[in-house]
Amino acid sequence: MMGVGKSTLGKIVAKKLDLKFADTDLNIEKNCSMKILEIFKNKGEDFFRSEEEKEALECLKKNNTVIALGGGAFMNKNIRSLILKNSLSFWLDLNLNIINKRVKWSKKRPLLNQKKEEEIIKKLYSERKNIYKLAKYKINCNKLSKTAITKKIILFYENYKIKHKN
């Protein structure tokens, strides 16, 4: 979901684990030489979702990489099935009031570039939560600091690695 801290936390986790970091939204912007808002405006959501799928599937081929997916990427069946089959996934769950506060003044979120942002966020969350629940781990981020969330992710990652050693 947008505004939960995927990019911020992903960078921190990657640095602490000495892994590479990829942010699919930033990569799409770089590849298209446009901000996501511009892509939505000039080329449409379908074009963006196609680019998102290509970028996410490319990132998922890489080893030793923490990937911050855009909030809608996990909704894509191809992306999701590859993640669930081959990767460790986290749902960073956050109270809608906190998300609303974080994204309220953002001009870079095309799905919110309308009136009634709180209603849109509630609708998106409602549509996405049953898919997000498929992630390997859910972290309730409501009362946790970035440091605490990062520690949880790293602990889950290290335990997963121990269990899945060859």
pLDDT digits (tens, 9 = 90+) for 76-88: 999 999 999 999 9
Residue 157 has pLDDT above 70, yes or no: yes
- pLDDT at position 59, please? 96
- pLDDT at position 154, please? 97
Residues 6+ apart with CB under 8 A from 51: 28, 31, 32, 39
| Phi, psi values for residue 45, rounded to 5° | -65, -40
Q: How confident is the model at residue 113 (pLDDT cuts 50, 70, 90)?
A: low
Q: How confident is the model at residue 106 (pLDDT cuts 50, 70, 90)?
A: low
Mean pLDDT (the chain, rounded): 89
Strand partners, 20: 65
Length of the chain as a residue count: 166
Q: How does DSSP classify residue 18?
A: T
Nearest to 28 by CA among 56, 61, 65: 56
Comparing 40-44, 47-51, 115-119, 145-149, the range with the smallest average pLDDT is: 115-119
| Fold (CATH) for 6-157 | Rossmann fold (3.40.50)
Q: How confident is the model at residue 108 (pLDDT cuts 50, 70, 90)?
A: low
Against a cut of 0.75, is the pTM above it? Answer: yes
Q: How does DSSP classify residue 72?
A: T
Number of other CB atoms surrounding residue 9 within 10 Å: 21
Q: pLDDT: is 161 or 111 the higher one?
A: 161
